[in-house]
Amino acid sequence: DTEGLLRIKEENQKHYRRAQRHQDKKEKIQKHNRRLGDQVEKKTYDLKIQHEHLANLRRTHILELTSVIFPIEEVKTSMRDPADVSSESDNAMTSSTVSKLAEARRTTYLSGRWVCDDHNGDTSIGITGPWITLPNNGDYSAYYNWVEEKKTTQGPDMEHNNPAYTISAALCYATQLVNTLSLILDVNLPKKLCNRQFCGENLSRHRFTRAVKKLNANILHLCFSQHVNLDLLHPLHTLRNLMYLVSPDTENLGR
């Protein structure tokens, strides 16, 4: 029993010495972890500062891009009410006819049905200048209607002020701007759309509508990535959504 007791004491001493070594290792590991934690915290802070600096650079580049090359602004068309013009030319016009003309001015034929235009056609969104605009209500039917009419009409097109040209140019510039913004913001777009999609050959109604949907989807994706207020967005307002995205009031632009 005495020999067994001595043997147990020797084993206990070995375990005690081993426990001391483990305790020393534990303290060293804890010290190392605290040092790494401090380094990670410092690196995280430095990374946050770099992200803020990068966001400011992106914001500066975007504001320069949209102020010099691709300015987007709301354009007042200052159209006179046809009811007023008609009433001036014909004093004998009845009040019912005047009201019908005013009501016709407040409606738009969109995708096979008549819809009410809240902005009464008085405003549109221009890109690269007030002469290249898109309808405020997202109605681009003038383009494919012009394409269908051109197919049935022989001879050169002499109508230089056709709204189809304006719509095509505005959508082309919007596509270029969206693709450039995706590079600056480092955001992958969900839909692939080349810059020349709306240029060159006349697109059929199906191809045109499909391309516009892709463009609107890309713009909304960029707006979501920059935390644009969702109450301001509308899925059909191409340039208006883009205007809200690149606005200086967008707090998270460049994130």
Q: Is the pLDDT of residue 210 over 60?
A: yes
**Residue 143 in 3-state DSSP?**
helix
Q: Which phi-psi region, left, alpha or beta, contains residue 200 (left: φ > 0; alpha: ψ -120 to 50)?
A: left
In degrees, rounded to 5, the angle at the alpha carbon of residue 61 between the alpha carbons of residues 245 and 216 is 30
Task: Work out the end-to-end distance of the chain between its first and last CA atoms, rounded to an integer number of angstroms.
Answer: 76
Compute how many other C-beta atoms are within 10 angstroms of the C-beta atom of residue 145. Answer: 14
pLDDT of residue 77: 62
Q: Is the pLDDT of residue 175 over 90?
A: yes
- Residues 246-250: what's their mean pLDDT? 87
Higher pLDDT, 148 or 171: 171
Q: Which phi-psi region, left, alpha or beta, contains residue 139 (left: φ > 0; alpha: ψ -120 to 50)?
A: beta
pLDDT of residue 188: 93
The pTM for the full model equals 0.68
pLDDT of residue 161: 59
Higher pLDDT, 37 or 159: 37
pLDDT of residue 82: 42
